[in-house]
Structure 1
Amino acid sequence: MNRGGSTFLFFLVVVALVVSAFVEVWVLPTTISRVVEAFPEVSRLSLPAAVWGIAAITCLQGAAVTWLTLLYETRGGSARSRGGRTGLKVIAGFLCAFAVLTAVALVALVALGFASPGVMIALLVLGLAAVVTTVCLLLSLAARSQVRKI
């Protein structure tokens, strides 16, 4: 990747991190309180929703910070270093944690009887996207290691 593309990706991820911090600190609590005001029957879900939201955003932030580190380390050279492989494994770990959080949220909402179609579809799409991304990332790592052995 050329230096301009790497710099663009670097700043794009930094902007995404700033936006996610804003969502985590201000938007998420405000949205939860507004929903509880509008629908008092979901008040018992406010704490789990906040915990799940913060944990999910933190997983994605961890993956983004790891990606930033990889982008910074590989700006002028090759991404095939041992640290690059470790960084990609760390990103896969964060994505797995996100997928597990999504599955737990799905089960909890069904168990508590708050399984509205919109929320369930959104959680399914997010969870499946995390799983597919993780599988693709791990397959890429496995293929790369097989190419080195040949």
Structure 2
Amino acid sequence: MRKMTSVGVKIALALLVGFTVLIEALFVPLGIEQITQVYPETGRVAVPAFVWAVLTLACAQAILVILWRLTALASGDGIFTETAFTWVRAMIGFAYAMAALLAAAWLALAALTWTPPLVMYGLLGAGLLAVAFALVVAVMLGLLRRATALATEMAQVV
């Protein structure tokens, strides 16, 4: 990976991590506070909702940090190592964890019969997107394995 591309990707990842931290620290508490003021019956789920939001955003942050690490590996020849496989498998795990958290929120809201369509469709769409992301990355992991085998074979030939 070219140095300029690597720097650009890292800047974008840093901005995204900063944005998610801002959401966690500012927007989530404010949003929960406003909802509990307008709908006092939601007060009993305010703390679980906050924990859910922080955990979901933490999964996204972990994926962004892993992408940072993989970008650093791709800048050198480290992308064709077992270390890269471990990072990619971790990214897949965090994507599935995020999908599970989104499904849990969908089920919890459905059980409480608090089902505003936009929220339910948003949770469903985000969950499907997380699963699709995990599946794409799993396919890419297979391609990385194949590329690593070919790179190892070429190194032995040369």
TM-score relative to the length of structure 2 = 0.87
**Contact 2:106/2:120 (8 A) holds in 1:** yes
Q: 1:75 aligns to what?
A: 75
CA positional deviation for 1:139: 1.5
* Structure 2: gaps spanning 5 or more residues: 154-158
- Letter of the 2:11 counterpart: F
CA positional deviation for 1:85: 1.5
**Contact 2:78/2:84 (8 A) holds in 1:** no
CA positional deviation for 1:45: 2.3
Q: 2:100 aligns to what?
A: 100
Instruction: Summarize the alignment of residues 1-150 of structure 1 with structure 2, pairs less than 5 Å apart.
Output: 1-77=1-77, 79-146=79-146, 148=149
User: Aligned in 2, Cα 1:142/1:77: closer, same or farther, shift over 3 Å?
Assistant: closer
**Contact 1:3/1:76 (8 A) holds in 2:** no
**Contact 2:28/2:53 (8 A) holds in 1:** yes
Moved more, 138-147 or 41-50: 138-147
- Post-superposition Cα deviations, 1:29-88, rounded to whole Å, max 9, x if no partner, equal 011101111222222221221011000001111111111112123223352222111111
Moved more, 111-120 or 68-77: 68-77
Secondary structure of 1:74 counterpart: helix
Moved more, 99-108 or 81-90: 81-90
**Contact 1:92/1:138 (8 A) holds in 2:** yes
CA positional deviation for 1:110: 0.5
* Structure showing greater Rg: 2
Secondary structure of 2:79 counterpart: coil
Q: 2:156 aligns to what?
A: none
Q: How many residues align?
A: 150
